Chain A
Amino acid sequence: MSLVNLMLDKPVIDIEVLRKQVPMLNIEHDTHSFTYLDYASTTPMPTCVLQAMWDHETHTRSNVHRASYQLAERATQAYWQARQSVARYLNATKAEEIIFTSGTTAAINMLAYGLEHQLKAGDEIIISPAEHHSNLIPWQMLMQRKGIKLKWLPLSTDGRIEVSQLNQLITDRTRLVAITHASNVTGAITDLAVIIEHTKDKDILVFVDGAQMAAHGPIDVQALGVDFYAFSGHKCFGPTGIGALWAREECMTLLQPLMGGGGMVQWVTPEQSEFVTGYQRFEAGTPPIGQAIGFGIALEWLLSLPWTAIQKYERQLTQQTLNMFRNIPGLSLLGPQDSNQRLPLFSFQLDKCHPHDICHLLDQKGLALRGGHHCAQPLLDYFDVGAVCRASLSFLTLPKEINRLNQALIEAIEKLA
């Protein structure tokens, strides 16, 4: 057995053993070994997550917060535990700071609508061209509804957000900085500390889109000093259709609810309603209970891992991939060249080969990569490209899979020549 052993300050971790816990990674792809390199889009689920969801749907499927029979009590308890798991993963001060959503996109839309009543025409929100469409379009929609202004942080030539320029954008009308923690195209990690430095002691909220970052280790929202943080279950080894918006306790009270319905009211008359306070105010209707339970278990699974060792391993994978790409003629990589400034996520172009063609040929070799604009058209416009291939790795990626990518890329280039 080929082992990747990591012996650091925690017990040895064997990536091959971890991979055995993830059924999707062990499927056969015709005659080829299956090589999944699209973790930035969706991560596979470990057996413990699948089992937890199966158990819930089989043994405790019932609605939460609405009945006192034992089944419903157990479902309510499991749903609450999932919220606690999210809070632990983010190091939130309490589980009540977690709002379940259907994912990061829903979380950002909830935030944009939630803050709308706090904003006036002419107020300013600062974003960057490196944002996923999910952290751009809700603010554009708010701009159209409310007449707020969007201001843009500049990018460096390798696509990093120039956070040091923030001070020059801030005015007395600045209300919010909405920024990605890490780009889904370049993998560049945003220096949030600089943003906090520039916004502290000012009446400016900071929202962070953690969709990409959260799969690469637990987050400490208290240490980051931000006000809102969003991420998705399906990018963190959990199910689709679930995510979370974390709001600092005092910031949650700023938000108006996006949706009305059951579960978010204190009382209702034919004329009006009184909403509850806290996270329940934002979770109208029957929530995705099974998904939330799976999400919580996925995060507990991640929390059980030795992250110092894993993050070192991910940096090694990053360096290996960077070295490999440097030796492929005609390959241009977007994003930082320094493995410490980026996630193991690589968008690239090849001379005279379109990403769609490359990804198609790689698929025929059993490698799953994504080609396209990755829902980041302003960023691709910045680089003056229409589409790129993206190989996105995780701690479950093996060095031999990167070698397999190398070989398959060379063969695809030859095929398309």
Chain B
Amino acid sequence: MKSDIYQDGIKQLARTMIASNKLDQPDTSVRLDNRLCGDRVDIELCCNDGVVTQLHHKVRGCLLCEAATNIVAQHGVGATIAELENITEQLINFLNNNDNSSLPFISSWQKLNLFSPVSQHKSRHQCVLLPFQAVQQALAEICQ
């Protein structure tokens, strides 16, 4: 368990969170807590024709949670519901896989590869997944 999850790329992501304003009329708002550590992510979303058009985020969490939220914030707008579902599923598998030899994320989501060392730390998976799960929950509410 010596892998360094606190590498510069992760720290950089966490420290350079893109600014976000609350949405005037979000289609849905979701607050998700990590019941183990108290991390909290708030997500507001607007969607049009299956594409995320606006996204507001607020995070109170650890470095991993902040870094993951920043990736969602950077690349969530413009993504389709299907793409976000797929990326979340892929991220879950990536963390559970515990296989650092493959770095599967490409294009706009490739920064998720930075979380490769987290796969060895089961108790930290939820820190990375929390913003993605919040987005999933928000999308599910929109699709209902």
Beta-carbon contact of B40 and A356 below 8 Å: no
Beta-carbon contact of A354 and B36 below 8 Å: no
User: A373 to B39, alpha carbons, bound, how many Å?
Assistant: 9
- CB within 8 A of B40: which of A30, A360, A363, A386? A386
Interface string of A12-42 (1 = CB under 8 A from B): 0000000000000000001000000000000
Beta-carbon contact of A357 and B6 below 8 Å: yes
Cβ of A114 < 8 Å from any Cβ of B?
A: no
- Closest CB-CB distance, A170 to chain B, in whole Å? 34
- CB within 8 A of B127: which of A356, A386, A415? A356
Chain A residues with CB under 8 A of B63:
354, 357, 416
- CB within 8 A of A357: which of B36, B60, B62? B62
Chain B residues with CB under 8 A of A364:
1-2
Cβ of B129 < 8 Å from any Cβ of A?
A: no
Interface string of B15-27 (1 = CB under 8 A from A): 0000000000000
The 9 closest A-B pairs by CB, nearest first: A387-B38, A354-B62, A356-B62, A386-B38, A373-B38, A372-B37, A356-B37, A357-B63, A357-B62
- Closest CB-CB distance, B10 to chain A, in whole Å? 10
Which residue on chain A has the smallest CB distance to residue B35?
Answer: A373
| Chain B residues within 8 Å of A, Cβ to Cβ | 1-2, 5-6, 11, 36-40, 60-65, 121, 124, 127
Within 8 A of B (CB), among A340-394: 354-357, 360-361, 363-364, 371-373, 377, 380, 386-387
User: A363 to B1, alpha carbons, bound, how many Å?
Assistant: 10
Beta-carbon contact of B5 and A360 below 8 Å: yes
Interface string of A215-249 (1 = CB under 8 A from B): 00000000000000000000000000000000000
Chain A residues with CB under 8 A of B65:
354
Contact A356 B124, CB 8 Å, known A371-B37, A387-B39? yes
Beta-carbon contact of A356 and B39 below 8 Å: yes
- Interface magnitude class on chain A: 10 to 19
Beta-carbon contact of B6 and A416 below 8 Å: yes
Beta-carbon contact of B124 and A386 below 8 Å: no
User: A355 to B65, alpha carbons, bound, how many Å?
Assistant: 12
- Closest CB-CB distance, A247 to chain B, in whole Å? 32
Chain B residues with CB under 8 A of A386:
38-40, 60-61
User: A255 to B43, alpha carbons, bound, how many Å?
Assistant: 47
Chain A residues with CB under 8 A of B124:
356, 360
User: A361 to B63, alpha carbons, bound, how many Å?
Assistant: 12
Chain A residues with CB under 8 A of B40:
386
User: A363 to B37, alpha carbons, bound, how many Å?
Assistant: 16
- CB within 8 A of A361: which of B6, B11, B38, B127? B6
- Closest CB-CB distance, A385 to chain B, in whole Å? 8
Beta-carbon contact of A372 and B36 below 8 Å: yes
Chain B residues with CB under 8 A of A356:
37, 39, 61-62, 64, 124, 127
Which residue on chain A has the smallest CB distance to residue B61?
Answer: A354
Besides the known contacts A356-B64, A357-B63, 15 further A-B residue pairs in the complex with CB atoms under 8 A apart: A30-B2, A354-B61, A354-B65, A356-B62, A356-B124, A357-B6, A357-B64, A363-B1, A372-B36, A372-B37, A372-B38, A380-B38, A386-B61, A387-B38, A415-B6
User: A416 to B67, alpha carbons, bound, how many Å?
Assistant: 13
- Looking at A356, A380, A416, the one whose CB has the most chain B CB atoms below 10 A away is A356
Which residue on chain B has the smallest CB distance to residue A352?
Answer: B15
Interface string of A63-75 (1 = CB under 8 A from B): 0000000000000
User: A416 to B5, alpha carbons, bound, how many Å?
Assistant: 11
Chain A residues with CB under 8 A of B60:
386
Chain A residues with CB under 8 A of B39:
354, 356, 386-387
Chain B residues with CB under 8 A of A387:
37-39
- Closest CB-CB distance, A409 to chain B, in whole Å? 15
User: A361 to B3, alpha carbons, bound, how many Å?
Assistant: 11
Which residue on chain A has the smallest CB distance to residue B36?
Answer: A372
- Closest CB-CB distance, B12 to chain A, in whole Å? 12
- CB within 8 A of A416: which of B11, B36, B37, B38? B11
- Closest CB-CB distance, A20 to chain B, in whole Å? 27
User: A360 to B63, alpha carbons, bound, how many Å?
Assistant: 11
What are 28 A-B pairs at a CB distance below 8 A?
Answer: A30-B2, A354-B61, A354-B62, A354-B65, A355-B62, A356-B37, A356-B61, A356-B64, A356-B127, A357-B62, A357-B63, A357-B64, A360-B5, A360-B121, A360-B124, A361-B6, A363-B1, A364-B1, A364-B2, A372-B37, A373-B37, A373-B38, A377-B38, A386-B60, A386-B61, A387-B37, A387-B38, A416-B6
Which residue on chain B has the smallest CB distance to residue A372?
Answer: B37
